Amino acid sequence: MFRRICVFSGGRAEYGLLKPLLDELKDCSDVELKILVSGTHLSREFGLTYKEIERDGFICDEKVEMILSSDTSISVCKSMGLGMIGFSEALTRIKPDLLVILGDRFESMAVATTAVICRIPIAHIQGGEKTLGAFDEYIRHSITKMSFLHFVTTNEYFDRVVQLGEHPDRVFNFGAINVDAMKKVRILTKVKLEKAIGFSLEERSLLVTYHPVTLENGTAEENFMQILEAIRSFDNLRVVFTKTNADTEGRVINKLIDQYVDDNQNNAISFTSMGQLHYINALRYVSAVAGNSSSGIIETPTFKVPTVNIGDREKGRVIADNVINCDQNVKSIREALTTVLSIQFKKSLHKMSNPYEQSSTAKKISCILQDHKIPETTKKEFYDV
């Protein structure tokens, strides 16, 4: 059955997760793959990462500008409005049979809302998850209700999507596509990674990815300064920062990162976009990870890398044995870092497994996208549990 499938990507991290699925769809003779890019992919400030998609051999069929040069709540709302204007035109030109959306960002909300109005069926990846501290929580569940097909990562999330009224016949638990993607990334030796990023990891190193807690008002600066204070209390610690996405108050955090790196050039480095190859290999070799990114919850267990999850942003997700949750204050962060940087904690993770990991996730999703019957109308009944 021939299908025109459009895959949406609004930023660098999202593309890294979607790449194995794009590879599967690109090689299918019964699929005409279309790629719609927007968000930070098209921002020079965030690295113009749509070029990475093109370097990988894909075509960005439509580009929709929507990101404003600001990180206030008003600018995010305006960006969503601009996105919907552009998405309505782009989707009208593409005329997809199915639109694939991953996750829960505001760019995804804008394109999903547009697709609903244009009566385009949506396939949603990574629904059913809980994240207490970010408005991503509301966006994720909203996109679930807009979508026809659902690809979740654990049985708990399967049950939650059904609880939201989605028929179980349209919900599939194939594991996390980002874990599947990691397995396909080329392995670099530690020496080659250090040469590529221009930074030595040495004996003790920490990878930090921290995003604004978007359901709190004006806390980004104070929260991140607490993290930096905790980090400063450790001697001989090499720190790699990856910067935030285009979130409310994200630029506040990025400015603090730049200042810290300027003041600690011998033992700190930062990246606007580290790239999937270097980021995944960094997870292999760093001593520990810290922050409040979903990567710290979903991806780090595969490498058994000790991880500190700070505050409420990711609270509610299923966590593995390598993750320690801590409160958003200097004392709690310092204590958690002391634990994950210890040899004893690292040794305790020897037999752990990743609850998000299954085999051939991208291939399984691709098969459903190709073969599952799509009704002529986007009407769907609420499934009562």
Q: Tell me the C-alpha distance between 348 and 192, whole Å.
A: 28
Read off the pLDDT of residues 138-168 as tens digits, 9 standing for 90 and up: 999 999 999 999 999 999 999 999 999 999 9
Burial code (b: 16+ CB inside 10 Å, e: under 16) for 178-190 equals bbbbbeebeebee
- 16 CB-near residues (< 8 Å, 6+ apart): 178, 181, 276, 279
The CA-based diameter of the chain, rounded to the nearest angstrom, is: 63
Burial (CB < 10 A; 0-12, 13-18, 19+), residue 169, is exposed
Read off the pLDDT of residues 55-113 as tens digits, 9 standing for 90 and up: 999 999 999 999 887 778 899 899 999 999 999 999 999 999 999 999 899 999 999 99
Read off the pLDDT of residues 244-298 as tens digits, 9 standing for 90 and up: 877 778 889 999 999 999 999 999 999 988 888 999 999 999 999 999 999 999 9
Read off the pLDDT of residues 319-345 as tens digits, 9 standing for 90 and up: 999 999 999 999 999 999 999 999 999
pLDDT above 80 for 214: no
Q: Tell me the C-alpha distance between 329 and 314, whole Å.
A: 16
pLDDT at position 151: 98
Q: Tell me the C-alpha distance between 288 and 341, whole Å.
A: 6
pLDDT above 80 for 215: no
Half-sphere exposure in the Cβ direction for 165 (13 Å, CA) = 10
Read off the pLDDT of residues 226-241 as tens digits, 9 standing for 90 and up: 999 999 999 999 999 9
In single-letter form, the type of residue at position 258 comes to D
Four-CA torsion 288, 293, 298, 302, nearest 10 degrees: -20
pLDDT at position 160: 97
**Tokens representing residue 68 in the block:** 């404003």
Confidence band for 12, pLDDT divided at 50, 70 and 90: confident
Q: Which domains does the chain have, with CATH numbers?
A: 3-175+358-371 (3.40.50.2000), 190-348 (3.40.50.2000)
pLDDT at position 101: 98
Burial code (b: 16+ CB inside 10 Å, e: under 16) for 294-319 equals bbbbbbbbbbbbbbbbbbbbbbebbb
pLDDT above 90 for 172: yes
pLDDT above 80 for 9: yes
**Tokens representing residue 301 in the block:** 């267990």
**Tokens representing residue 311 in the block:** 């505050």
pLDDT above 80 for 178: yes
Q: Tell me the C-alpha distance between 152 and 173, whole Å.
A: 5
DSSP β-bridge partners for residue 179: none
Judged by DSSP in three states, 4 sits in: strand
Read off the pLDDT of residues 48-58 as tens digits, 9 standing for 90 and up: 999 999 999 99
Predicted TM-score (pTM) above 0.85: yes
DSSP states of 330-353? HHHHHHHHHHHTSHHHHHHTTT--
**Tokens representing residue 163 in the block:** 């609880």
Q: Tell me the C-alpha distance between 130 and 159, whole Å.
A: 12
